[in-house]
Structure 1
């Protein structure tokens, strides 16, 4: 299992940056987790887009899915040029809000599967569990298991879902978790965590590795990291382009 960071910014990209987007490679090929602004160009540097095994969206805020609306053109034009996939690309995301979920399919380039919190599903050889997070619109945290390894991605969440996220991430090999805010600055924003809160979740869950993502471009990443490391000393930043191997 291999995780590559395509983008880590939120809720908008830093100059030359990209918002949430992560490539998880496993038993049946690469899965794209979220596709925010700037992610598609970086994705195309890594893989031939029609060769994706699936795409998964934590939720439908633009910083997590806006490049989906051009990703679909890549797939449609690949079909026109005769190099299309043998079947539509499986697309997974929350069932709600229904109006936003309904915007995700396009022609017949996707096979949509809309999920509710608490569901378990097989995606591209992964065993996947999803749970609701604490966010202004429905958002899914997800656990991805294969070959005895497990990655958990928080999506966007506030502290109201901390207990559920601890349960989902218990003993995970890697927790990729948002750290939008800084406790030392007194930050508060609905549906988001401070770096300290993110680290506390990782510590309580007993995860082996912690990567901090969804970083506000206006903050010094080292300040975010330092706050998390006060609680979870092995915490690291999700660095764009970096790859984590879970053999």
Structure 2
């Protein structure tokens, strides 16, 4: 299993990189997870739009889903008879995004498979289990189990006991770490710190951690050091061009 980072920032993109987004490849199957702001260009530098087999969206904030819209345009305007792209997302989370274009333009480009966080389903070679994790809007953390191993992904989340279950024994935990040490009061309960990620990754026995959704301007080395206070395994920060292979 090959996981390519398309972006690793939270809130907004910078000139250097986009927001959270990942391409997970298992054999010939290509799954895009959270196509946030400024992730479609790095995606298309790796695979043609028509070669994406499915999309998983954790929640409806635009730094996690905005570039689904240009991806759909890239598919339907190049080939109006092409297959619909399966898009898996919490029910109602993409309504606003899918309504921004002219009526009917991208309707044939996707098939929306809405779910309630907590449900499980299959996506290509992956068995997907989801958890409802604390955030301002409905957010579905997910565990993708494929022939080569397990990737766990939090989306955006505040602290909760479900995170240990989500990350239990995962070969790779991709975890939101907007802050390094302390989550400000205005975001408490809805976002996480690298320190918190280190604690639950250690409790879960995750084999490797990839920190994502860092607030723009956060020094990556500070986030890594914070996670390592409690977690002894390998820790990296999601950055454009980084590729993780499972099993490592």
Given the two structures, how large is their TM-score scaled by the length of structure 1?
Answer: 0.91
Name the structure 1 match of 2:196. 197
Name the structure 2 match of 1:225. 224
Name the structure 2 match of 1:135. 135
Residues 204/33 of structure 1: CA separation in 2 closer, same or farther (3 Å cut): same
**Are the equivalent residues in 2 in contact too, given 1:28–1:125 (CA < 8 A)?**
no
The runs of 5 or more residues in structure 1 that have no matched partner are none
Name the structure 2 match of 1:210. 209
d(CA) in 1 for partners of 2:28, 2:119: 21
State the shift of 1:113 in Å: 0.2
Structure 1 runs of 4+ with >2 Å offset: 96-106, 185-188
State the shift of 1:103 in Å: 4.1
Residues 17/97 of structure 1: CA separation in 2 closer, same or farther (3 Å cut): closer
Name the structure 2 match of 1:123. 123
Correspondences of 1:110-189 after superposition (within 5 Å): 110-159=110-159, 162-183=160-181, 187-188=184-185, 189=187
Residues 241/128 of structure 1: CA separation in 2 closer, same or farther (3 Å cut): same
State the shift of 1:122 in Å: 0.7
Name the structure 2 match of 1:16. 16
Given the two structures, how large is their TM-score scaled by the length of structure 2?
Answer: 0.91
Larger helix fraction of residues: 1
Q: 1:88 aligns with which of 76, 84, 98?
A: 84
State the shift of 1:225 in Å: 1.3
d(CA) in 2 for partners of 1:39, 1:101: 16
- Secondary structure at the aligned position of 1:108 is classed as helix
Correspondences of 1:44-83 after superposition (within 5 Å): 44-80=44-80
Q: Is 1:239 matched up with 2:236?
A: no
d(CA) in 1 for partners of 2:44, 2:98: 26
State the shift of 1:198 in Å: 1.0
Aligned length: 240
User: Root-mean-square deviation (CA), in Å?
Assistant: 1.9
**Are the equivalent residues in 1 in contact too, given 2:183–2:191 (CA < 8 A)?**
no
The runs of 5 or more residues in structure 2 that have no matched partner are none
State the shift of 1:101 in Å: 7.5
**Are the equivalent residues in 2 in contact too, given 1:27–1:146 (CA < 8 A)?**
no
